[in-house]
Amino acid sequence: MKHQQALYLQEMGITRWQVRKPDLFPLSLNLCTIDLSHYKLLLVASTADFAHPLMPSILNAFNLKLSEVYCCSTDQFENLQGQLPELIWSTLGEINQPHGHKLLTSSTLVQLAADANAKKALWKQFCAFNQ
């Protein structure tokens, strides 16, 4: 079940079932059950973006440490279970925005490094959420 669908069920008061023997359902093995409670930023990006030399500078500007960021792909994001961090940043294009979360979108870090206007646009999005 996708994260957005799980939130709808939760808001309607519908209890989610827990599979006792997940080995019997091979498709359910792909679901991510990661505790995101100690992360401040969920980054939906490629591993190349996360490893880009510009990433530490951006996180420093956002006043975040690398250990406070969880990075995942778009598919992994869609299958995440549980509460998400308040701040979500996507470098892979538009994603389904969970209600009650702050969503930043930007181009890839390679493009950000080459385009000052793209960096400025990302910074404006971040500042708009922190006012």
- Encode pLDDT of 84-117 as tens digits: 888 999 999 888 767 778 899 999 999 999 999 9
Q: Which two tokens stand for residue 63?
A: 């006043």
pLDDT band of 42, cuts 50, 70, 90 = very high
Residue 9 maps to a domain: no
What share of the chain has pLDDT > 70, as a percent? Answer: 79
pLDDT of res. 25: 64
* Residue 16 maps to a domain: no
Q: Which pair of tokens denotes residue 4?
A: 């957005």
CATH of the domain at 65: 3.40.50.10220
Q: In terms of residue numbers, what domain contains 57? A: 40-131
Average predicted confidence (pLDDT) for the chain: 83
Q: How many domains would you assign to the chain?
A: 1
Q: Please state, for a pLDDT cut of 90, what percent of the chain lies above it.
A: 50
